[in-house]
Amino acid sequence: MAATRSRSKLVWDIVSYIVLIGLAFICIAPIVWTFLTSLKVESDIVTRTMHYIPPSITFENYVKLWNQSSYPTLVINSLIVTSTTVLICLLTGTVAAYAFSRFQFKGRTQLMLGYLVVRMFPAVLMIIPLFIVMRQVGLLDSTFGLAVAYTSFLLPLFVWMLKGFFDAAPKELESAARIDGTTRLGAMFMVVIPIARNGLLATCVFVAIAAWNEYLFALMLTTSTGSRTWPVGLQLMVGEFQLPWGMLAAGGMISILPVIVLFALVQRAMVAGLTGGAVKG
Amino acid sequence: MISNTGPAYSSPQRSAFDRYNPLRWIGELSETRYWMYLLLLPSALLICAVVIYPTLYGMQMSFHEMRINRPGLGNGWVGLKHYQRMVTDPVFWVSLRNTAVWVTSAIALEFLIGLVAALALNRNLPGSKVLAVLILLPYFLPNVVAGHMWALMLDPRLGVINDLLVKVGLLQGYKAWFADPTTAMAAAIVVEAWHSFPFFTLLLLAGLKGIPTDLYKAADIDGAGALSQLRLITLPMLKTIIAAAVILRVIGLVNSPDLLLILTSGGPGRSTQVLSLYAFQTAYKDFNFGYAGALSVVMFVLLMVFAWAYVRLSKVNED
């Protein structure tokens, strides 16, 4: 009995490894292939015989994309929009998450549910009025306007995720600080937020990645190079200038590099934060 | 205000500086009964401004004529005109059918792969932490890049997948996956599944960690095999998580046309035209905001009805 059980455990271990390695390969292969393509000369990409390993390695695609297109401007615009979005979420969302986590008050459950339900609203339904309103107030085609629009789906997410991290922070230290005469304000900024700083960082990174990647709002709400973000710019280059595959691959690699680095750095806390709410409720 | 609801501890010998120190002022405010509402105010106002107001505006828009490129038509009230047009609009019905195919197939595939990955990761084998990072990575990549990576690999002239399939002997020659109406949707579903199955892995893995191991030990003693353990313990215990994950994914998938917009723009023909994409193109290309609004409202209502029915059904099954 014990022998068959340990043998079946071994079999399932092996099956698990095969599944995991296979899936990891499928997940990584497109990224690796894009990277290899970005290092190839265009004539090695567009060829009748497939080159699995680049016959010659070149950084020409990166250099050309960086020097001859508006890509640097697009990346800078994206950086501005992303950091503005994170900043707005930090300023308005941190205190909201704290309130949900630490206080019992009338309407708490309904309001929290409301923060969840607004994410169900179709983006398209919001984008059109946002377009009209932003045009009226002069925020259309501006990085700030786009960042404000991003908070429509990222702020509720930020609040929910951060609330989970605040819930996990022990309440004893806070009580001790309160007994010592610290105000609620002081306890929040000097005790709770520092304890939950890893969670706060993970939440910010998650929001930053989402804002960095966003395409639809940016497509509708920006019209000029002055505020256009990289996903829209890259897509336009493909459409209008028939961007060569090598340069497109290089653009893709440049754009996902920050995402991969940030994800690798804080993935554990981020995964915990993303799954926390779902497990509890 | 401060004097009315001021804190009990405030010391009598406050200096003039303290009185006007904003930090002190907010600190005292934080002791009042309204503090939590003040904390919620900024985010609630912002959400009202960028979500609630635009959504209501959009709903109202669907009853008006609103064509940005033809201001001559005015912004008059047209009642149910847009909704009536929808009934006889063949593209609407095609989009509706495609949405159903797109959402159900993609989610079924994502759920299956996600579950298998979560089960394998949950065995906590050595090295599975690194593999988990690699497996979760696609979910965090931008749609634009994910779309182009796969467009490159599936390209009819230089696609590596075509090359591999021909070498293995599964294909006679290179295939234009996204240009053929019979394969475009399937190819897009594969890309979508690759991009989003980690979402299910993430949630299911968290759910698996919450199942008490005693249950499996008891099942071992009773001689239940791995598959019956999966059917009788794991899946029933994951029911709530599965329901939550499916709902969240359905909402995400129905609402966002991004990936299809990048891969196919709804083509060839109307073979990959989904409702959200149709609404977006009606707004973005035709500038017919009224009709686009009506399409989104219908999409939203269908989504709400689905979510409600799904929650009800999964609750009924529990009883």
Q: What DSSP string describes A252-270?
A: HHHHHHHHHHHHHHHHHHH
Highest mean pLDDT pick, A103-107, A238-242, B272-276: B272-276
Is A87 within the bounds of a domain? yes
Q: Can you give the residue range of the structural domain that contains A20?
A: 2-38
Name the residue of chain A whose CA is nearest to B290's CA. Answer: A128
Contact at CB, A256 and B255, closer than 8 angstroms: no
Q: Is residue A197 part of a domain?
A: yes
ipTM, interface predicted TM-score of the complex: 0.88
My answer on whether A136 and A266 are in the same domain is yes
Same domain, A160 and A228: yes
My answer on whether A195 and A123 are in the same domain is yes
Question: A223 and A107 in one domain?
Answer: yes
Shared-domain flag, residues A249 and A122: yes
CATH number of the domain at A254, please.
1.10.3720.10
Instruction: Convert the pLDDT of each residue in B90-117 to its tens digit.
Output: 999 999 999 999 999 999 999 999 999 9
> Does A133 contact B54 at a Cβ distance shorter than 8 Å?
yes
Nearest to B35 among A120, A184, A276 (CB): A184
| Burial call A149-173: b when 16+ CB within 10 Å, e when fewer | bbbbbbbbbbbbbbbbbbbebeeee
pLDDT computed for residue A67 by the predictor = 87
* Residue B9 burial (CB count, 10 A): 9
First-to-last alpha carbon distance for chain A, in angstroms, is: 39
Every domain of chain B and the residues it spans: 1-33, 89-318
pLDDT of B69 over the 80 cut: no
Q: Dihedral sign for Cα A109, A268, B251, B104, please.
A: negative
The helix/strand/coil state of A139 is coil
Q: What's residue A2's pLDDT?
A: 58
Residue A63 in domain = no
Query: Looking at residue A277, what is its pLDDT?
Result: 53
Total domains present in chain A? 2
Answer yes or no: is A229 within a domain: yes
Residue A72 and residue A34 share a domain:
no
The answer to whether residue B318 scores a pLDDT higher than 60 is no
Distance from CA of A66 to the nearest CA of B (A): 17
- DSSP track, chain B: -HHHH--TT--S---HHHHH-HHHHHHHHTTSTTHHHHHHHHHHHHHIIIIIHHHHHHHHHTTB--BTT-GGG-S-B-TTHHHHHHHH-HHHHHHHHHHHHHHHHHHHHHHHHHHHHHHHHTT--TTHHHHHHHHHGGGGS-HHHHHHHHHHHT-TTT-HHHHHHHHHTS-SS---TTTSTTTHHHHHHHHHHHHHHHHHHHHHHHHHHTS-HHHHHHHHHTT--HHHHIIIIIHHHHHHHHHHHHHHHHHHHHH--HHHHHHTTT-STTTT--HHHHHHHHHHTS-BHHHHHHHHHHHHHHHHHHHHHHHHHHHHHH-
Quick: pLDDT tens for B168-201.
Answer: 888 888 888 898 888 999 999 999 999 999 999 9
Instruction: Sort out which chain B residues have CB atoms less than 8 A from A274's CB and list them.
Output: 202
Q: Are residues A33 and A78 in the same domain?
A: no
Question: Does residue A45 form part of some domain?
Answer: no
Query: In the CATH hierarchy, which fold is given to the domain comprising B89-318?
Result: MetI-like fold (1.10.3720)
Take residue B318 and report the two structure tokens written for it. Answer: 């529990």
Q: Do B27 and A183 touch (CB under 8 A)?
A: yes
Residue B296: is its pLDDT beyond 70? yes
**Is A59 among the domain residues?**
no
Provide mean pLDDT across the span A209-230. 91
From chain A, pick out residues whose CB is under 8 angstroms from the CB of B128.
16, 20
Closest CB from B50, B141, B202 relative to A148: B50
Mutate to test the interface with B, among A5, A21, A23, A140 (most CBs of B within 10 A): A23
Same domain, A186 and A79: yes
Take residue B228 and report the two structure tokens written for it: 């019956």
Q: CA torsion sign, B278 to B284 to B288 to B294? A: positive
Say which DSSP state A140 is in: T
Partner residue opposite A99 with nearest CB, options B7, B36, B262: B36
CA–CA dist A61, A65 (Å, integer): 6
Same domain, A166 and A219: yes
Answer yes or no: do A92 and B43 touch at CB < 8 A: yes
**DSSP type of residue A41:** -
- Render pLDDT for B204-241 as a digit per residue (tens, 0 to 9): 988 888 888 888 888 888 888 888 888 888 888 888 88
CB contact (8 A) between residue B120 and residue A19:
yes
Domain match, A126 and A228 both: yes
What interhelical angle do B128-136 and A245-280 show, nearest 10?
Answer: 110
* Residue A60 lies inside a defined structural domain of this protein: no
